[in-house]
Structures are given as structure tokens and as C-alpha cells.
Amino acid sequence: MEWNIGCIASKRATTTPNKTAMIYEDHPITYKELNDGANRFAHFLQEKGLKKGDHISVFLLNCPELIEIYFAAAKLGIVFVPMNFRLVGPELEYQLNNCDSRLLVFHDTLFKNLEPVLSSIKVERDKFLFIKSETPDCSGCPEWAIDYADVIESYPTDEPLPNEPILMDDPLAILYTSGVTGLPKGAVLSHSQTYFKNFQIIMYTDMRSEDIFLTQLPLFHSGGLFITATPVFCRGATLIMRQRFNAEQFALDIGKYKATIVFALTTMWRFVLQSEKLDSANTGSIRVTMGGGERTPLTLFDELAERGIHLQNGFGQTENSYMMLMPKKYIFSKKGSIGKPGFFTEVWIEDSDGKKLPPGKKGEIVAKGPTVMSGYWKLPDKTSEAIKDGVLHTGDYGYMDEDGFFYIVDRAKDMYRTGGENVYPAEVEKVLANHPKIFNVSIIGVPDEKWGEAGMAFIIPEEGKSLTSEDALDYLKGKVAKYKFPRHFKFVDSLPMTATGKIMKVKLKEKYGVRLDA
């Protein structure tokens, strides 16, 4: 079937042209303005010889231009590849070359990350575009790049015609996994999968055209681009967007814009609470609060509820984003659950032999449906490992209760064996995360002469509070079996994090001498 995600921008420009599509750094942008920008860039791409099936990349902070480029590429059947704006030279080089990117748009603030690898990336020399971020002390456009603002305005705003028809199953984007373990893999997402995700999110949230959707998730991430921006524009609602996450500003924007749907990950909510701005914010406009994650401390639900915010935990991956969400009325009766599967996703628990398990039995969480990725770019072996007979194997372990609610136990890759017993760190982390003196915690398995492996806990204490390993162990007593207790503790000021708030256990494992699986 011929159709593409770029049609969202085109249709909105004709049906609701003067409606505010987004408010970026307090500046409103209408649906017509958004579509005009996308069309101009599409004509630029065509002039540069780019056509259906080519790949282009962005290395940008959150900005309206990123959305314009995304829709422009979709209208032409060009594959959009957003890069994590925290990537450094070698990481950027690997991903740009791996995805065969022909063009790159970058922000001035990120040039320092790009410059060291300019000579080793395969992007064509006349296809570097520069965007000024208005950040003080940033240099201007280099001689070898094209200034986006100066050039794009000269192109027409009429709808572009692709060089060949775009089909629903054609690739729309490649999103690289966060690289928590090993090299990042590029998940290929089609127009069709994104279409079904749109309506899964719209149904989850009962989204309406008058909704004000607030998030500060990065747009290179599935949560920012596919769980927030695309469904919002499809529904004709309004997106509140900032260049970067700022905890105080996030809290203030809830009241300032009377946000009705809010999305933030667990780590973000912790910083928002820590800022104390939420205490005086008017949260009465909020109807839906999405976010959380499998390691969300149970106390966080209470802290937010005290401030009028009812966090609906969710679960997803780049490979199948937001496949589950907690119904609002069960937030407290099913505390700790990641919710129920969405309308277009089937989820169940399997054992190692591929047998479906009954409620209460632990196994791997698997899923299928039209929201699952097409596969991993250039990695047929990894694709066949992840998707077997149309079923996505998430690598996450958990169980389902009698009422159909799912619970995470841990990542399969994070499990370690101590004295012959399997230990899933997330189970222990979840308990420790509720300690009143612990801000964040991560546990890995490290070599142990006596037990083969033992747990090592990295703990960030709450600001201004002191904590000992004895305090942590005392807190675990009676909550988890003793063999699951960490045997080593390290108190730290920070933990290595991805841009989306995931703890990079691979960095901890590398530093402490644990052999990593590919």
C-alpha cells in the first residue's frame, strides 16, 4: 500500500494549518510552518541527488529543524537516521559509516565531537549542513559546510514528488540502540510500524487535538520521536519542546502551558523532584503521565501522587517501543508492574524452549505485532536471534500475574551466577532504590574467588546523607534472599548513563574486569 509518514505533515497543513504544532523554547510553530519547512528541505534533498532508499543523518539537539528533516525524508522515502547528541568521535564515526549516511546535519555545539573524525566518515563532502543553536560562544558555519538557515529558505514549499512510490513496509528510520552492551545495533523501523505506534499511543492516552503534550526527551530516541512527536502531530495536538532536559524548567512548563499529557523517564522525574519546583507547580491540568521504567522505585509513585501526578509505568525498547503501559486505575493496586500490552502488541512469557508459560512463572518477555521493528541494519544473524518466526525476543525476563499484568525481573545479559544460583540485579536494585538515603543504584556481577561471581553495588547516596554498606545490607534483610545480597559496595557521585537515562552497565563491567558477551 502506498502511504508514508510524511503525509502526516502534509495533511495537518491542509486540515489545521494555523493550529500550533509545537512550542519550541517558548516560540510557537504552526502546522503550516512545520510542513513548509519539511517541503523546502525535501526539495533541497532532491537537488542534491538524494532519492528513495538513501540514508541521511542528523547530529542535533532538539530543534524544529530535526522534525522538518524527518518529515522531508519520509516524503521522499529517504531513511532518517538520528544520532545521539552525546556521541563522541569514534562512536559517531562508527554509526555514520555503518548506516551508509550520505548527508549529515549538525549543530554548532556538537562540532567539537564531529571534527576529529571528519576525514574518516563517508558522508559526501558537499552534504554537510550546519545549524546554529543560539548557544553563546559557538563558532559560525565552517567553510566546508552549508548553512541550513541561509540556504533552505530559498526552496519552494509545494509538496515534493518522490522518484518512486513509497510503500508502507519501506524503511522510515534507523535508530541505534543505546549501546548499554556491546556495539549499538541499528533498528530498522518502517512507515507501517510507525503508523501503528501512532495509534497505539493515541489509544493509550486517549489523546485529543486540544491536548498539550510536554516532554523533554531527546528526539534521537524512540521515546522522543516515535512515542511523543509523531503521534502528537498525527493527532493534531501541540508539543512543548526544549533544546535539552532541564529539571526546573520541566516542572515550570507544566503550569505555564497547562500540560495535559506528560512524559518523563524515572531518572528525569527524580531530578524534577530534587529541584523542588514541582512543589509549587500547578499540576491540575495533567490527565496522563507516561514514563517510569522497570527500575522505578515504588516510593516515586507516592512522591508524585502527593503532587497530583499519577505515573503510569510503561515498558518498551527501540525494537518495539512502548509495548506496554499501566492503566491509570491500577497504579497503586499493581505497584511495580509495567502494565498491560498495547492494542496492537501481543506479549507473553516464554521459557528457554519457546514454551508459553502460565501466570506466575518467570521467563523471557516476548512480543509480536505490527509495531515490532523490521530487523537490525546489516546484522542478519542478530536479527534472526532477536526475531524468530515473527516473535521479538526482548532479552528481558519477567512474569505475568493472574490479571494479565507484567513484571520485570531483569535483563538476561545482566544476570550473574553466584554459588550456582542465578541472581537478577534489577530485583535487588528495586529494593535498594526505595532506601530513603539512596538516590540511585546499579549492581553488576564481578569475579569472586569463592562464589565464582558476586554482586557489586554502585550507590549514589541522597544529597547530604551518609550511608554505609552495613546500612544497605540491613535494608535488604527480609526483602530478598541472602544469596542475592551484594558482597561488594562502592559509593559514587555519578553513574555512567546513556542520554535516555539508562545506566551503562557495560562501562561498569569494563572498568571492573568482567568479560562481556558480544
CATH number at residue 259: 3.40.50.12780
Same domain, 75 and 118: yes
More confident residue, 155 or 420: 155
Q: Is 425 part of a structural domain of the chain? A: no
Same domain, 453 and 314: no
Classify 390 in phi/psi space as left (phi over 0), alpha (psi -120 to 50) or beta.
Answer: left
Confidence of residue 512 (pLDDT cuts 50, 70, 90): confident
Q: Is residue 517 predicted with pLDDT exceeding 60?
A: no
Q: What is the DSSP string of 268-329?
A: HHHHHHHH-GGGGS--TT--EEEEE-TT--HHHHHHHHTTT--EEEEEEETTEEEEEE--GG
Same domain, 398 and 487: no
Among 167, 184, 203, where does a domain finish? 167
Q: Is 266 part of a structural domain of the chain? A: yes
Confidence of residue 422 (pLDDT cuts 50, 70, 90): low
Q: Is residue 513 predicted with pLDDT exceeding 60?
A: no
Q: Domain with 449 in it: what CATH number?
A: 3.30.300.30
Confidence of residue 154 (pLDDT cuts 50, 70, 90): very high
Confidence of residue 502 (pLDDT cuts 50, 70, 90): confident
Q: Is 8 part of a structural domain of the chain? A: no
Determine the pLDDT at residue 408: 86
The grid coordinates listed for 18 are 494555523
SS3 358: coil
CB-based contacts of 102, cutoff 8 Å, min separation 6: 50, 54, 55, 56, 123, 124, 127
pLDDT, tens only, 321-376:
899 999 999 999 998 899 999 999 999 999 989 999 999 999 999 999 999 999 99
Domain that holds residue 271: 194-411
Determine the pLDDT at residue 360: 96
Record the pTM: 0.85
Rounded mean pLDDT of 148-175? 97
**Least confident range of 11-20, 226-235, 414-423, 496-505:** 414-423
Among 348, 380, 411, where does a domain finish? 411
Rounded mean pLDDT of 150-162? 96
Q: Is 213 part of a structural domain of the chain? A: yes
Same domain, 280 and 389: yes
Rounded mean pLDDT of 166-181? 84
Same domain, 85 and 39: yes
Q: What is the DSSP string of 238-285?
A: EEEE-SS--HHHHHHHHHHTT-SEEEEEHHHHHHHHHH-GGGGS--TT
pLDDT, tens only, 89-122:
888 999 999 999 999 999 999 999 999 999 999 9
pLDDT, tens only, 247-301:
999 999 999 999 999 999 887 898 899 999 999 999 999 999 998 765 677 888 9
Determine the pLDDT at residue 136: 77
Q: Is 135 part of a structural domain of the chain? A: yes
Determine the pLDDT at residue 53: 98
Q: pLDDT above 90 covers what percent of the chain?
A: 75
Query: CA of 29: how far to CAs of 7, 17, 18, 20, 233, in Å?
Result: 18, 10, 9, 6, 12
pLDDT, tens only, 26-80:
999 999 999 999 999 999 999 999 999 999 999 999 999 999 999 999 999 999 9
Is residue 25 within 8 A of residue 256, CB to CB? The reply is: no
Same domain, 368 and 219: yes
Same domain, 374 and 488: no
Same domain, 396 and 437: no
| Average predicted confidence (pLDDT) for the chain | 91
Q: Is 176 part of a structural domain of the chain? A: no
Q: Is 276 part of a structural domain of the chain? A: yes
The 8-class DSSP code of residue 107 comes to: E
Spatial separation of the C-alpha atoms in residues 396 and 425, rounded to whole Å: 12
Same domain, 401 and 439: no
Same domain, 269 and 368: yes
Total domains in the chain come to 3
Q: Is residue 204 predicted with pLDDT exceeding 60?
A: yes
Nearest to 221 by CA among 187, 248, 258, 246: 187
Q: Is 418 part of a structural domain of the chain? A: no
Same domain, 209 and 154: no
Same domain, 400 and 439: no
Spatial separation of the C-alpha atoms in residues 49 and 68, rounded to whole Å: 19
Q: Domain with 91 in it: what CATH number?
A: 3.40.50.980
Q: Is residue 181 predicted with pLDDT exceeding 70?
A: no
Determine the pLDDT at residue 415: 75
